[in-house]
Amino acid sequence: SIGIEIENPGHDYGYPDFPDRQIESVIALCRDILARRKIAAYNVLAHSDVAPTRKQDPGEKFPWQRLYEHGVGLWVPPAPIRDDAASLKPGDQGAAVAALQRQLASYGYGILENGNYDSLTTAVVTAFQLHFRPACVDGIADASTRETLRALLAARAGG
SS3 string of 87-150? CECCCCECHHHHHHHHHHHHHCCCCCCCCECCHHHHHHHHHHHHHHCCCCCCCCECHHHHHHHH
24 is a catalytic site residue = no
Length of the chain: 159
Which member of 5, 24, 60, 69 is catalytic?
Answer: 5
CA of 24: how far to CAs of 18, 27, 31, 38, 66, in Å? 10, 5, 11, 21, 10
147, 103 contact by CB (below 8 A)? no
Active site residues: 5
